[in-house]
Amino acid sequence: MSVADTRAVQALLDWYRAMGVDEAVGEEPVDCFAAAAPKPAARPAPEVKMAARPPRIAPGAATPASTRGIGAKVSTLTELEALVAGFEGCSLRRTAKSLCFARGSAEARIMLIGEAPGRDEDLQGKPFVGRAGQLLDRMLAAIGLSEQHVYITNTVYWRPPGNRTPTPEEIEACAPFLARQIELLSPSVLVLLGGAAAKTILGVSEGIMRLRGKWLTYACAGRDLPTLATLHPAYLLRNSAAKRYAWRDLLMLKAALDSEIRGQ
């Protein structure tokens, strides 16, 4: 077995451990890599240009007057966070304890976007710090990524009461800030966690099972940002069988990042 094979097997075993797999079932081994083998493309080649029409989050006619012109107002993520902290136009902030703007590194090449903060996030003022966040961290660790490599946020910055789904109006109110957040971070890759984030960012109505597992694009500041939609960690906590799809998506992400490093 080559060194690369050994590493791949080790990564898979780490992934199993992270997913809570502690028992072998079945007599015959299954070659998971046969199904998951990433395409040999040197670059993350977008397969489908989903963002040909403007994504819903692009600031436009539907943008509330109070959030127009954010681009002109702020030129750093810190300034943007301060702007969001003073923003009164999203009703969620009235019931939430804290603003959950972002977690991770402002230098990250990988930006992940989830749906909405939950109870733990509201208590700590950071996205993805509860059970779903811990699973997300283990998933990222399985492909060698830690908090210093990623920047994580949500489609809305405050916890919806009782963890309900954010309304289209709440998402719309936060959208111009999120668009500017993506622009300011300017990552190499965008990862959309779950159907809500995928639909919001890509401006499409397809379900996550149709959107996941292929390179899409998000139009950002005059360039097509390679974008990968995958299953939400909270969904994976409830549906263990779906973890194999998340693993395939993570391998695609890893292959894209590796090829980018090789191409530098």
Interface residues with ligand URA (CB under 6 A)? 114-118, 121, 127-128, 130, 132-133, 154, 234
- Backbone φ, ψ for residue 223 (5° rounding): -135, 160
The residue (of 43 and 131) whose beta carbon lies closer to ligand URA is 131
CA distances from 152 to 140, 146, 147, 197, 255 (A): 12, 11, 9, 12, 20
**Residue 96 Cβ vs ligand URA, minimum distance, rounded to whole Å:** 12
The residue (of 39 and 131) whose beta carbon lies closer to ligand URA is 131
Nearest residue (beta carbon) to ligand URA? 114
Give the start-end residues of each E strand in 60-109: 103-104
**Residue 215 Cβ vs ligand URA, minimum distance, rounded to whole Å:** 22
The residue (of 36 and 100) whose beta carbon lies closer to ligand URA is 100
CA distances from 108 to 64, 112, 247 (A): 29, 10, 21
CA atoms within 13 A on the CB side of 48: 12
**Residue 110 Cβ vs ligand URA, minimum distance, rounded to whole Å:** 16
CA distances from 51 to 175, 201, 206, 262 (A): 16, 9, 13, 27
d(CA 136, CA 129): 9
Among 184, 115, 185, 202, which residue's Cα sits nearest to residue 153? 115
Q: What is the CA radius of gyration of the chain?
A: 18
The residue (of 121 and 249) whose beta carbon lies closer to ligand URA is 121
The residue (of 189 and 192) whose beta carbon lies closer to ligand URA is 192
The residue (of 236 and 255) whose beta carbon lies closer to ligand URA is 236
**Residue 128 Cβ vs ligand URA, minimum distance, rounded to whole Å:** 4
- Cross-strand bridge partners of residue 215: 228
**Residue 129 Cβ vs ligand URA, minimum distance, rounded to whole Å:** 7
DSSP state of 188: S
The residue (of 36 and 132) whose beta carbon lies closer to ligand URA is 132
**Residue 156 Cβ vs ligand URA, minimum distance, rounded to whole Å:** 9
**Residue 224 Cβ vs ligand URA, minimum distance, rounded to whole Å:** 25
d(CA 264, CA 261): 5
d(CA 101, CA 124): 11
